[in-house]
């Protein structure tokens, strides 16, 4: 699942960095904010990649919640079964049978 998200972020193109200014007579650009040499181009992902990653994250969260609920149900049910198996005859603590 996460490899598909990684593949989605690899879909895009190289674009000119809007914060970089080409230095005259050089092959490098200057970062406007820090006055450092920087790359003139940056990687821009396609617009759908962020939406896809969000959808995968929500799907993963739903699956995780369902698994937690199932584990809680199993633990509660096994607690009821062990009460019956290890129940002392005549005790008020005996629950319903499995």
The pLDDT of residue 55: 92
Asked if the structure places residue 87 within a domain, the reply is: no
pLDDT beyond 80 at 93: no
Asked if the structure places residue 33 within a domain, the reply is: yes
More confident residue, 47 or 85: 47
The confidence band for 9, taking pLDDT boundaries of 50, 70 and 90, is confident
Q: Of all residues in the chain, what percent carry a pLDDT higher than 90?
A: 18
Instruction: Tell me the CA distances in angstroms from 2 to 8, 13, 54, 65, 78, one per residue in order.
Output: 10, 21, 11, 18, 34
C-beta separation of 42 from 14 below 8 A: yes
Asked if the structure places residue 10 within a domain, the reply is: yes
Range of the domain at 34: 2-70
How far apart, in whole angstroms, are the C-alpha atoms of residue 21 and residue 49? 28
Q: What is the dihedral of CA 66, 72, 76, 82, to 10 degrees?
A: 110
What pTM did the predictor assign?
A: 0.54
Asked if the structure places residue 7 within a domain, the reply is: yes
Asked if the structure places residue 76 within a domain, the reply is: no
The pLDDT of residue 33: 79
The pLDDT of residue 28: 79
pLDDT beyond 80 at 85: no
Q: How many domains does the chain have?
A: 1
């Amino acid at each position: 699942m996460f490899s598909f998200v990684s593949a989605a972020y690899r879909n895009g193109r190289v674009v000119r960095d809007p914060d970089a200014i080409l230095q005259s007579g050089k092959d490098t650009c200057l970062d406007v904010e820090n006055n450092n040499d920087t790359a003139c181009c940056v990687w821009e992902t396609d617009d759908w990649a962020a939406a896809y990653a969000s959808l995968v994250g929500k799907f993963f969260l739903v699956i995780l919640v369902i698994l937690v609920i199932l584990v809680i149900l199993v633990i509660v049910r096994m607690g009821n079964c062990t009460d019956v198996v290890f129940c002392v005859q005549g005790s008020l603590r005996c629950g319903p049978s499995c």
